[in-house]
């Protein structure tokens, strides 16, 4: 069997800082490209059931596209993925204010979040897998967050074709952290995901107000358009007469995942199937939630690597993470990070059409 490989190439300059592209190749048809700008998953190619390779996510073309304004395409976002209401939270009796960048709230770490930073990176080989480990130092007060924080994300690819993302963060004083990847998936390469089937392993979800802030505690999905406990056609779900869907223009909501065993165990979060079932993606994670975003705000301004405008519902994001606004909601799983206790999480992108199903943990 061919061995996985990794190689590095120069991608461009950002304010005099070099940006590199790392290519992880499984040797069996799956290939991932990662940029040091934003620790971005730039390309992901996966064979279909006939063995024909093709892209499964939508990425931008050139470095200039990533340095301009864009909706976090493929980037690792932080310090805090999703929204913190009104850019404020209290930790250990101290109030903290953050810059707001989304309807008066802080989204994905603020306007100067991790998605726009150039990360350090090194390639590694472990057994029959190859990886790239990206690291970033965020100083005390960065975007208003307390404490100096060192974050890392490691992308690992082996011959099975599973792409693993391992996140870690350590801080020198109490802070909050919530890291995720913001890839835009389109398994068929049509520039439209309405014909995809989506299943989410969750019995509860978080309704939100018009600004995307949770209205209260999780509610059951049963009897709502948010019931994805079995595969559902996105076109049919998004066409439902529902105020939450109308306000957001589609899905931009967090599902609370079922808990099976210890929180550190991987469990399946979602399964996305192309219209012809030629490609299937399963997302597995240790995180308590998954934000499903059906690219409601894309308006055709951006063009993807294939030269197609990125338009509304042209992709779906499956963002494994802690729940939105958790620093202000004691009932949510805690996102507080304290010195001496690293935050770690794992997410896997599995492609079951390529092999026999992997056992659930």
Question: Which positions are annotated as active-site residues?
Answer: 182, 319
Joined tokens for residue 262: 């210890």
DSSP structural state of residue 82: S
Kind and range of the H or E run holding 268: strand 267-273
Kind and range of the H or E run holding 262: none
Q: Answer whether 335's CB lies under 8 Å from 176's CB.
A: yes
Q: Answer whether 180's CB lies under 8 Å from 72's CB.
A: no
Torsion angles phi and psi, residue 234, rounded to 5: -60, -40
Helix, strand, coil shares of the chain as percentages rounded to 5? 10, 45, 45
For residue 28, what are the contacts with CB-CB under 8 A and spacing of at least 6? 1, 2, 159, 160, 161, 354
Residue closest to 189 by CA, chosen among 314, 350, 52, 353: 314
């Amino acid at each position: 069997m061919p061995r996985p490989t990794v190689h590095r190439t120069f991608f461009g300059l950002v304010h005099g800082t070099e940006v590199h592209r790392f290519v992880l190749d499984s040797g069996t048809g799956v290939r991932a490209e990662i940029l040091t700008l934003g620790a971005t998953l730039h390309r992901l190619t996966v064979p279909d059931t006939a063995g024909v390779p093709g892209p499964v996510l939508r990425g931008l073309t050139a470095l200039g596209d990533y340095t301009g304004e864009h909706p976090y395409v493929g980037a690792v976002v932080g310090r805090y993925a999703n929204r913190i209401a009104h850019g404020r939270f209290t930790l250990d009796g101290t109030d903290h204010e953050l810059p707001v960048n989304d309807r008066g709230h802080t989204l994905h770490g603020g306007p100067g979040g991790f998605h726009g930073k150039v990360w350090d990176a090194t390639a590694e080989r472990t057994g029959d897998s190859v990886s790239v480990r990206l690291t970033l130092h965020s100083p005390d007060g960065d975007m208003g967050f307390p404490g100096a924080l060192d974050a890392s994300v490691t992308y690992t690819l082996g011959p099975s074709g599973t792409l693993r993302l391992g996140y870690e963060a350590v801080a020198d004083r109490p802070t909050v952290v919530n890291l995720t990847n913001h890839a835009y998936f389109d398994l068929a390469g049509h520039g439209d995901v309405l014909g995809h089937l989506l299943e989410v392993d969750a019995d509860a979800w978080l309704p939100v107000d018009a600004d995307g802030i949770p209205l209260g505690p999780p509610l059951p999905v049963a009897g709502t358009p948010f019931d994805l406990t079995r595969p559902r056609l996105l076109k049919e779900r998004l066409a439902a007469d529902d105020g939450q869907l109308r306000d957001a223009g589609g899905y931009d909501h967090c599902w609370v995942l079922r808990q099976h065993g210890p929180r550190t165990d991987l469990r399946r979060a979602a399964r996305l199937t192309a219209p012809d079932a030629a490609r299937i993606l399963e997302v597995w994670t240790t995180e308590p939630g998954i934000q499903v975003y059906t690219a409601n705000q894309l308006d055709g301004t951006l063009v993807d690597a294939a030269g197609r405008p990125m338009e509304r519902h042209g992709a779906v994001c499956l963002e494994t993470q802690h729940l939105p606004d958790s620093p202000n909601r004691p009932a949510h799983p805690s996102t507080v990070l304290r010195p001496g206790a690293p935050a770690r999480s794992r997410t896997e992108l599995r492609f079951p059409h390529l092999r026999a199903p992997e056992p659930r943990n």
